Amino acid sequence: MLNQGVLVLNKHWTAIHVCSVRRALGLVVEDLARVVNADYQTFDFNSWAELSAHIEENGNEFIHTPRLQVLVPEVILLVGYHRMPPRTVKFNRKNIYIRDGYTCQYCGATPPREELTIDHVIPRSRGGRSTWENVALACQRCNAKKGNRLLTELTMKLTRPPKRPHWFSTLRTSLRNTERPVWQKFVDVAYWNVPLEEE
């Protein structure tokens, strides 16, 4: 339970991150953050603990200590942090899968995740590098068909050219994959209000 995700907002109420319950409560105890409920009310640790004492279990999750029970927060607001997260996306397997929507970029198939591979558009054996612009998800069939050839040597095409994703797209996708209705209020606002970068 302590490792569950908690949505983190900056002081302008923009979704910027997801942290663990353990980290979120630590920030609230240190007075660096407030817990936010579904009605947009904010609570410091003492007022959150007091509110928690009056809430029944009924599907709610609590952390129990010898002295009190504390409702597991879903959203926290950083009281002194106004910046946005770094506007870069880490080049890693998870973010490639998110960028490509778990879909083969050659045939459009959406097989189970374990049947997708990361293909180098220009194969490494032919000088291709591991960059955002040179990797794409491929199903096993398309990957085998392409092999170490260039697209110009085949009749295969990419459904869209691979490129570096916008930093907010991966955060938004991870947030949308949760079953927390209260998060949607903040994710949707952040999506529509975040400034766009020129490509």
pLDDT band at 54 (very low <50, low <70, confident <90, very high): confident
- Domain 93-153 in this protein, CATH class: mainly alpha
pLDDT band at 173 (very low <50, low <70, confident <90, very high): low
pLDDT at 196: 42
- The whole-model pTM stands at 0.55
Segment 159-171 mean pLDDT: 78
Identify the pLDDT of residue 199.
Answer: 37
Q: What is the number of residues in the chain? A: 199
Mean pLDDT, rounded, of the chain: 84
Name the least confident of 9-23, 76-90, 98-112, 144-158: 76-90
Q: What is the CA radius of gyration of the chain?
A: 22
Can you give the pLDDT at residue 132? 95
Could you state, in order of their start, the residue ranges of all structural domains in the chain?
5-86+168-193, 93-153
